[in-house]
A and B are shown apart, each in its own frame.
Chain A
Amino acid sequence: MNDTEHVSTRLDKRSIFLRRLVVRALIGGGRGHIGSSLSLIELIRVIYDDFLKFDPKNPFLEERDRFILSKGHGCLALYAVLADKGFFDKTELDKFCHNDGILGGHPERGKVPGVEATTGALGHGLSLGIGISLALKIRKSDYKTIVITGDGEINEGSIWEAAMCAGNHHLKNLAVLIDYNKIQSYGFTKEVADLEPLVDKWRAFGFGVSEINGHDTEEIKNCLNSLPLEPNKPSAIICHTIKGKGFKFAENKPEWHHKSSFKDHEIEQMLTELEKQEKDL
């Protein structure tokens, strides 16, 4: 699998719509981890559209699957999907990072309906997910726990402590998706802290492993519906993605990991690009 394939994955109407919601929050907050959120959108979209069992009116309903965005800085993608699903009103997006808003630069449990765990410090979500998954196992409940980590995030040692434990407990109802956009804050993962051979690593820790194009919604759906990838094992899905996906000027550019201010013409450019892609459909 290579990057050219992902660039060629065209965004459909729904992916364009969700990116518009992300831009709406960016306008509202004037800042955000944009590149890190854009690589995630199709993953979170499919998880909520086609896999997760949930009730937006009762986010902590006992009979639900659990989803944790361990790379909390990608929250703009999560907020777009949660707003679209009706967990909260879309007008909250306009108050992203505002004093009177519920949506902060990292997601918080108890403040944002639908957020299972407060994340932002990297390397916490997988352990929390394992605890949840073990709790469900004790209760003999079959509900699933899905965790998304970043690629830079898995530099954290705690992730591998957690991975060892998940393998040891044969948590078949747990899946971790790695948003492998190949860029961390400083630059390319290959140069900062090379993760390869990534498939072998997760396999060695006792996971069933699959590699997918993280922007191909059919491929994501098929993979999720085939969980667990191997009997009696937790699953790791290496999702090849593009940082900044959907905006040519931002794709694969480390400087688009996070922006603390936007110029008007940049916002304009984002909306124009989305419009153009919609017309070309």
Chain B
Amino acid sequence: MRPTSLNCVYELAQKDERVIFIGSDLGPGVLEEFKENIPERFFMEGVAEQHIVGMAAGMALEGFVPYVNTIATFLTRRCFEQNVLDLGLHNTNVRLISNGGGTVYAPLGPTHLAIEDIAIMRAIPNMTIVSPADADEMRRFMMQTLDYQGPIYIRLGKGYDPIVSSDEFPFEIGKAIHLKKGGDLLIVTTVITLAHALEAAEKLEEKNISTAVLHMHTIKPFDKEALIEIVDKVSAVITLEEHTVIGGLGSACAEAILEEGFNERKAFRRIGIPDIFPSGYGNQKDMMNRNGISVPQVIKTAQSLINS
């Protein structure tokens, strides 16, 4: 997913003179061709996220469209005030491309786990948050970022995830994709957990639980309409995300469903990282499994919701 997003930036830069790339001390060789062919719009800056976001905002005020890339934790936590004021308040056309959203950097420990990025970025007015499920969807999305108004936070999952999205469903920022229909249960998901949701849904069908899957690639603006339309027809909802259960996709769904005020009670569970700093290392899969972000956990939760 990451190489795709960066290659798209280069592609856009070749087509449009407004595109700028800014990296914060990334690995050697990143976008070498970009640097070689369009050096005046390629910036590899130091480890200084506060400054870089402000600088990108300054460029955007002059009509450029800067794409800023570094690790998700540093692009959200470290420079939060710049994200709020220089991007949100100024409503600047800056795109933040964050590597390792969720538990991608599990072996590196808790300093590198971006498990609350969606929650904090969601609280910023004017901020759009998009987290495609795989490399193919990333490409469809990135091509739409050039003329989009306002700042975008782009959450990258791990790059080796399988392709689960399909170009049968057109991609539009802010429009959720109803990938699978079902009448008993709805699983709402975002980023790479779409793969888990689809696998769980298939297994639940075998157990006679008809399961719908809604892919919320855009967390903000939140497609409440698409969510409510499906929730209306099912009795239970599970949200699945590689993120703390506080303030992310699950919270956004809970807010929307509760405010809709259905006559019939909807059973509801959030699956995500509990309110802890996850411990242990291993790989992303281990970390997700340890915290219940897994197909068996979705199935278990679904059965308990439906049977209650």
Please measure, in the bound complex, the distance between the C-alpha atom of A131 and the C-alpha atom of B90, giving whole angstroms: 14
Q: Are A131 and B59 neighbours in the complex by a CB distance under 8 Å? A: yes
Q: Which residue of B lies closest to A132 (CB)?
A: B58
Q: How does the 8 Å CB contact mask read for A113-150 relative to B, with 1 for contact and 0 for none?
A: 00011100101101111111111101100000000000
Q: Are B51 and A162 neighbours in the complex by a CB distance under 8 Å? A: yes
Q: Is B85 an interface residue (CB 8 A)?
A: yes
B86 contact from A124, A134, A164, Cβ within 8 A:
A124
B51 contact from A118, A132, A138, A165, Cβ within 8 A:
A165
Q: Are A128 and B54 neighbours in the complex by a CB distance under 8 Å? A: yes
Known: A109-B90, A121-B85, A135-B64. A161 touches B57 (CB 8 A): no
A130 to chain B: which residues have CB within 8 Å?
A: 51, 54-55, 58
A127 contact from B20, B40, B55, B63, Cβ within 8 A:
B55
Residues of A159-218 contacting chain B, CB below 8 A: 161-162, 164-165, 168
Q: How does the 8 Å CB contact mask read for B20-38 relative to A, with 1 for contact and 0 for none?
A: 1000000000000000000
Q: Are B46 and A161 neighbours in the complex by a CB distance under 8 Å? A: yes
Q: Is B61 an interface residue (CB 8 A)?
A: yes
B53 to chain A: which residues have CB within 8 Å?
A: 127
Min CB distance, B149 to chain A, in Å? 14
Q: Are A132 and B62 neighbours in the complex by a CB distance under 8 Å? A: yes
Known: A138-B40, A158-B51, A165-B45. A128 touches B86 (CB 8 A): yes
A129 to chain B: which residues have CB within 8 Å?
A: 58
A124 to chain B: which residues have CB within 8 Å?
A: 54, 81-82, 85-86
B55 contact from A121, A134, A136, A139, Cβ within 8 A:
A134
A133 to chain B: which residues have CB within 8 Å?
A: 58
B89 to chain A: which residues have CB within 8 Å?
A: 118
Q: Are A138 and B54 neighbours in the complex by a CB distance under 8 Å? A: no
A164 to chain B: which residues have CB within 8 Å?
A: 46, 48, 51
Please measure, in the bound complex, the distance between the C-alpha atom of A116 and the C-alpha atom of B45, giving whole angstroms: 24
Q: How does the 8 Å CB contact mask read for A50-81 relative to B, with 1 for contact and 0 for none?
A: 00000000000000000000000000000000
> In terms of DSSP, what is the predominant structure of the interface of chain A?
helix
Q: Which residue of B lies closest to A127 (CB)?
A: B54
Q: Are B58 and A165 neighbours in the complex by a CB distance under 8 Å? A: no
B51 to chain A: which residues have CB within 8 Å?
A: 127, 130, 158, 161-162, 164-165
Q: Which residue of A lies closest to B91 (CB)?
A: A110
Please measure, in the bound complex, the distance between the C-alpha atom of A116 and the C-alpha atom of B92, giving whole angstroms: 13
Q: Which residue of B lies closest to A136 (CB)?
A: B62
Q: Are B40 and A131 neighbours in the complex by a CB distance under 8 Å? A: no
Q: Are B48 and A128 neighbours in the complex by a CB distance under 8 Å? A: no
Q: Which residue of B lies closest to A118 (CB)?
A: B89
A128 contact from B40, B45, B55, B66, Cβ within 8 A:
B55
Q: Are B48 and A134 neighbours in the complex by a CB distance under 8 Å? A: no
Chain A interface residue number, banded: 20 to 34
Please measure, in the bound complex, the distance between the C-alpha atom of A126 and the C-alpha atom of B82, giving whole angstroms: 12
Q: Is B112 an interface residue (CB 8 A)?
A: no
Min CB distance, A101 to chain B, in Å? 19
Q: Is B196 an interface residue (CB 8 A)?
A: no
Please measure, in the bound complex, the distance between the C-alpha atom of A97 and the C-alpha atom of B90, giving whole angstroms: 20
A131 contact from B46, B48, B56, B85, Cβ within 8 A:
B56
Q: How does the 8 Å CB contact mask read for A84-123 relative to B, with 1 for contact and 0 for none?
A: 0000000000000000000000000100000011100101
Q: Are B64 and A138 neighbours in the complex by a CB distance under 8 Å? A: yes
Q: Are B61 and A132 neighbours in the complex by a CB distance under 8 Å? A: yes
Give the one of A118, A121, A161, A168 with max B CB within 10 A: A161
Q: Is B235 an interface residue (CB 8 A)?
A: no
Please measure, in the bound complex, the distance between the C-alpha atom of A226 and the C-alpha atom of B273, giving whole angstroms: 58
Q: Is B50 an interface residue (CB 8 A)?
A: yes
B20 to chain A: which residues have CB within 8 Å?
A: 138
Q: Which residue of A lies closest to B62 (CB)?
A: A135
A127 to chain B: which residues have CB within 8 Å?
A: 50-55, 57-58, 82, 86
Known: A117-B90, A127-B50. A162 touches B55 (CB 8 A): yes
Give the one of B46, B54, B60, B81 with max A CB within 10 A: B54
Q: Are B54 and A158 neighbours in the complex by a CB distance under 8 Å? A: yes
Please measure, in the bound complex, the distance between the C-alpha atom of A138 and the C-alpha atom of B22, giving whole angstroms: 14
Q: Is B180 an interface residue (CB 8 A)?
A: no
A123 to chain B: which residues have CB within 8 Å?
A: 50
Q: Are A128 and B46 neighbours in the complex by a CB distance under 8 Å? A: no
Min CB distance, A158 to chain B, in Å? 4
Q: Is B77 an interface residue (CB 8 A)?
A: no
B64 to chain A: which residues have CB within 8 Å?
A: 135, 138
Known: A128-B86, A138-B64, A165-B48. 4 other contacts (CB 8 A): A117-B58, A117-B61, A124-B81, A126-B54
> Nearest 10 A-B pairs (CB), nearest first?
A131-B58, A127-B54, A135-B62, A161-B51, A161-B48, A131-B55, A128-B58, A158-B50, A131-B59, A132-B58
23 contacts between A and B (CB under 8 A): A117-B90, A121-B85, A123-B50, A124-B54, A124-B85, A127-B53, A127-B82, A128-B57, A129-B58, A130-B58, A131-B57, A131-B61, A132-B59, A134-B55, A135-B59, A138-B40, A139-B62, A158-B82, A161-B50, A164-B48, A165-B45, A165-B46, A165-B55
Interface residues of A (CB under 8 A from B): 109, 116-118, 121, 123-124, 126-136, 138-139, 157-158, 161-162, 164-165, 168
Interface residues of B (CB under 8 A from A): 20, 40-41, 43, 45-46, 48, 50-64, 66, 81-82, 85-86, 89-90
